[in-house]
Amino acid sequence: MFTVAHDQAHAQAPAPAVGRPRPAAATRVRRASVLDSARVCAHVFAPMIAQGVVLRRPRLLGLAARRDSARRANALLADLRRTYGAGPLAVSVFGRLVVLPLCAADARAVLGRTPDPFTPANREKRAALDHFEPHALLVTPGPERPGRRRFNEAVLGTPHGAHHLAGTFLDVVREEIATMSSQLAADSVLEWPTFHAAFSRIVRRIVLGDGAAGDRALTKQLDALRADANWAFAHRRRTGIHDRFTARLRTHLDRAEPGCLAAVVAHTDHDDDTDPAGQVPHWLFAYDAAAIAAFNTLTLLAAHPEAAAQAREDLIHRDPADPHVLATAQHLRACVQESLRLWPTTLVILRDAERADQLAPDGAAVAVISSFFHRDRETLDFADRFAPAAWLDGRADPARGIVPFSAGPAACPGRNLVLFTVTAVVDAVLRETAALRPTGRTVLDRDRSLPHTLDHTATRLLAPPAG
């Protein structure tokens, strides 16, 4: 097991051998061989790009799951750590210098020192997200960033465990899940398309109001732009569909329907450069990842009925109408967080070094590979099993590189709202069903290590109605 002392030992660069040029004092980055860079391209980044970083491609995600490509990637990174040491490793990825932190301490340092010198407005990230959210906080550099951060935190209720509209949001969740459950076929099988459609209605109602509940065209337009974003630099920007999406979105925002985030947007102070409407596409995008997390949580609970039973027991005697009950439902919330540890929806956290540093040379990209740290068998004794208790006893700590919502000054401002929504959705499904059971070829074997790659689009769950 790597300890803090071990990581710090790697921080002390050895004296250069006689006859070798002395490395720059500002960096302790080692350079991978051409062969190892090629291996990283082939086994880490290529499968990640293929399955879709911004919008998952179901067929290629299915292929990645069958090959368990994330397990192969994580094994390679562990091998490189044994070869080069636990310090940051520079590789050439499709012609770009990319630094890979290989220990949790370095990953934490990069995220903690954002935006200076590690800006979240990474070149590749901007090329991707410019397709549909060019003014989003996530890709905002320089002086505009603080104002946009304040605005996002104010609207999303970042400091609060429960958003001030949580009661309304809880009603929305339960209405939509009840409708979904009532419309399941006679075989009571819950599949991704059905669940995703219900979750999308929930998101549109939470963000834009009841008037947007049935606006599937808005979601389809956003998905088309996200599909373009998967290609980043390699796909031209489609200004026509972007303009139509923006106009449709602004119609909902201008309505500022009470009881949704659009109303909060309308009444929240902001700087001239904030572009309030320009922040909303990211909320819709991020909530789509939350849908995956929710479905993966249900998949875990179906495979671990004792955890589902505990979740039911924890909530059965508490006021179901009180949103603070769900905000403090520790076991169920831990199950949600555990699904995000096992299968992070953010596959890689990107930064660019804007000046030379011990952890990266000037101009390099830094890539924190989420799954590598979340499934690190050398540091986590629960790496490949479902362990929600780790979120309650401190073992699933950001200090160990477990950062499903990123970390540091650029951590996700919607973390608490997303966790509340996903927890509410999972709770609502449990209330509507007698017992979740796995079925089909994606059944998780609780007696074996859990896969590092999970195809949520192929998952089928038996969800017979309660009562």
Whether the bond between 117 and the residue before it is cis, its omega within 30 degrees of 0, is yes
pLDDT of residue 89 exceeding 60 = yes
Evaluate whether 24 touches 360 at the Cβ level (below 8 Å): no
Hey, what are 105's tokens?
């301490």
Main-chain phi, psi angles of 52, to 5 degrees:
100, 110
User: Residue 408, by phi and psi: left (phi above 0), alpha (psi -120 to 50) or beta?
Assistant: left
pLDDT of residue 286 exceeding 60 = yes
What sign for the dihedral angle of Cα 328, 332, 333, 334?
A: positive
Strands 348-353 and 118-119: antiparallel
Residue 256, exposed/middle/buried by CB under 10 A (0-12, 13-18, 19+)?
middle
139 contact partners, CB below 8 Å, separation of at least 6: 120, 121, 122, 125, 126, 129, 130, 133
Would you list the DSSP string of 166-224? HHHHHHHHHHHHHHHHHTS-TT-EEEHHHHHHHHHHHHHHHHH-GGGTT-HHHHHHHHH
Average pLDDT over residues 455-466: 95
pLDDT of residue 8 exceeding 70 = no
Residue 1, exposed/middle/buried by CB under 10 A (0-12, 13-18, 19+)?
exposed
pLDDT at position 265: 99
Residue with more model confidence, 448 or 380: 380
pLDDT at position 451: 97
402 contact partners, CB below 8 Å, separation of at least 6: 341, 373, 374, 396
Alpha helices in 322-463 (DSSP H): 323-327, 330-342, 370-374, 415-432
pLDDT of residue 14 exceeding 80 = no
Strand ranges of the sheet holding 460-462, from the earlier edge strand across to the other edge: 189-191, 460-462, 437-439
Length of the chain: 467
Hey, what are 49's tokens?
């790009």
pLDDT at position 6: 36
Evaluate whether 207 touches 418 at the Cβ level (below 8 Å): no
Average pLDDT over residues 428-432: 96
User: Angle at which helices 276-303 and 305-316 pack, to 10 degrees?
Assistant: 120
pLDDT at position 274: 97
pLDDT at position 19: 37
Average pLDDT, rounded, for the chain: 93
Domain boundaries, the chain: 4-462
Portion of the chain with pLDDT greater than 70, in percent: 94
Residue-wise pLDDT tens digits, 195-247: 999 999 999 999 999 999 999 999 999 999 999 999 999 999 999 999 999 99
Give the residue from 290, 309, 259 showing the smallest Cα distance to 424: 290
Residue 448, exposed/middle/buried by CB under 10 A (0-12, 13-18, 19+)?
exposed
pLDDT at position 26: 52
Evaluate whether 69 touches 372 at the Cβ level (below 8 Å): no
Question: What are the CA-CA distances from residue 116 to residues 248, 272, 410, 456, 461 (Å)?
Answer: 36, 23, 11, 36, 45
Would you list the DSSP string of 82-137? HHH-SS-EEEEETTEEEEE--SHHHHHHHHHTTTTTEES--HHHHHHHTTT-TT-G
CA 460, CA 238: separation in Å to the nearest integer? 35
pLDDT at position 138: 96
Give the burial string for 346-377 (b: 16+ CB within 10 Å, else e): bbbbbbbbbebbbbbbeebbbbbbbbbbbbbe
pLDDT at position 11: 37
Instruction: Output the CATH code of domain 4-462.
Output: 1.10.630.10
pLDDT at position 17: 38
Hey, what are 424's tokens?
């509410």
Q: What is the pTM of this model?
A: 0.92
Per-residue confidence band for 442, with pLDDT thresholds at 50, 70 and 90 = low
Hey, what are 303's tokens?
């495979």
pLDDT at position 440: 76
pLDDT at position 186: 86
CA angle, 29 then 30 then 34, to 5°: 135
Evaluate whether 159 touches 435 at the Cβ level (below 8 Å): no
Portion of the chain with pLDDT greater than 90, in percent: 88
Per-residue confidence band for 142, with pLDDT thresholds at 50, 70 and 90 = confident
Residue-wise pLDDT tens digits, 17-31: 333 333 343 568 999
Of the ranges 260-274, 376-390, 443-457, which one carries the lowest mean pLDDT score?
Answer: 443-457
CA 251 to chain centre: 28
438 has which bridge partners? Answer: 461
pLDDT at position 467: 74
User: Angle at which helices 192-208 and 216-229 pack, to 10 degrees?
Assistant: 100
